[in-house]
Amino acid sequence: MSTLLTLQKQHSSLLEQPSTIRGIKKKAKAIRQPGQKHATALDFVAKAAGYRNFHHAQRELSPASPQHRPPPGQHSIFISAYWRDRDSSPRSAGCETIQIHLSRPVKDLMTRHQGTYARNLEGFRLEAPDNLEMRANTDSQARARELLVRAALSIQFMEVTGLRPATSERNFKALENLEGFPSKDHVSLWIDPNSGGWIALDEPYGHVNEKSLVSKRAEWITDHALHLHKPTWGGLYFPGNAVPHLISSDGELLHRVASSVEALDPIAAVPSDTQPWDGTSASYTSQFVSPAREASGVARKPRPGTTYGYSKGAIEYHREAGYASLWRPETQMSLEDHSKIGSEFQRLCISPMTFNAHKIFRSWCSTLENWMYAEYQKSERDDKFYDTYYGGNPAPYETVEDQQSAIDRVCKIVLAGYIDCKPRRDLLKDLKSAQAIIAKVLPR
């Protein structure tokens, strides 16, 4: 490794803010000046990471601290969110975390897959067994805290009701029962894993309390052999503003769930003049490390989209905190070749084939258009440019043979138009996969 690269890595590591006590101590040792007290260096690093001093950091980050130790028989869950306020002057940013206590670990309440479907948890990922972390940044500290509270309420809802979010096409067919239901809004669907029964949580705004609308909705429920209950409970979508209603075809399940949520004390609350914030605040760069992550001895990875990478022959063209960066070939493909590929993709996207094959073409059609926009500036675009991948009046390829030939032509253009790189290899690999899927319908 070159001396320059070594120095660059050392400089980068010094700029990063540590998120563990061990990391604070290591950095303090690295930056300590001759004659400076070690305690002074510890306080300096802790403040840079968003804490009042080193002792404050110890209280907040130590897994053995009373704050992080759950009550007997309980399990701690930490929920984190990052924020950047670009409208403030000066601009500000940070990381908010709340801790809640549950009777079971979060893995017993939902799988990773289910979490992406649950109301208020769609934007979170399981960073550690005891830590749900928001993927993207939110735009203010207040918004981050609000979203954390909503996430906590959804977890509490699953714990006390035993319900799980609907995830499959088969589950979502239950929503057909609510087609035409007057003034339904912000509906989420939940499944009882034991019986397979469903509960719809309908959360319209206050106008739903108008007498005429109450009667109209009740009449519709009766006509469709369903059950409805309006619990004395804040709900999940917008607690205190939306009005929750529980709907099901199973009266017994509805009664059980309604009784459970009406007995709830909210596990978290949005801060206000009378309600202090019950979480912790840290700097934007101090990525939260939960007790389970710390105990595992495995260092957490940086959030996607927050570090720089390198890919031979490719260039990063889009970066967003919380998501993998998007890359394209570093060379530019001619507009003529883009037009040829666009014509083929438009036809393939409307040709008769399986869903999985269609999915590949639709995804890459969008991606190739993004590449083209990144390759050519506005001054280089003509009127036809904007219809390259979406536009015109394409005709489908009716036969499998014609579809296979079209894919071969696209592959040939891609191989000639772009240099070898991972984005090009990914495109060609998916096109070959689509060919294989399409070939399965050929007679043997």
pLDDT tens-place string over residues 265-303 = 999 988 888 888 889 999 998 888 898 888 888 888 888
Q: Map out the domains of the chain with their CATH numbers.
A: 12-62 (no CATH), 75-161+271-281 (no CATH), 164-262 (no CATH), 314-439 (1.20.1260.40)
Render pLDDT for 351-385 as a digit per residue (tens, 0 to 9).
Answer: 999 999 999 999 999 999 999 999 999 999 988 99
Estimate to the nearest angstrom the gap between the alpha carbon of 61 and the chain centroid: 25
What pLDDT was estimated at residue 45? 86
Backbone dihedral angles phi then psi of residue 406, each to the nearest 5 degrees: -65, -40
Render pLDDT for 67-105 as a digit per residue (tens, 0 to 9).
Answer: 566 677 789 999 999 999 988 888 899 999 999 999 999
Distances (CA, A) of 165 to 155, 161, 189, 331: 11, 11, 6, 44
Instruction: Report residue 9's pLDDT band, with 50, 70 and 90 as the boundaries.
Output: very low
Single-letter amino acid code for the residue at 127: E
Instruction: Report residue 63's pLDDT band, with 50, 70 and 90 as the boundaries.
Output: very low
Question: Per-residue pLDDT averaged across 307-322, rounded?
Answer: 90
What's the burial of 114, exposed, middle or buried (CB within 10 Å: 0-12/13-18/19+)? middle
Return d(Cα 201, Cα 228) in angstroms, integer: 10
Model confidence at 3: pLDDT above 50: no
Model confidence at 66: pLDDT above 70: no
What pLDDT was estimated at residue 181? 97
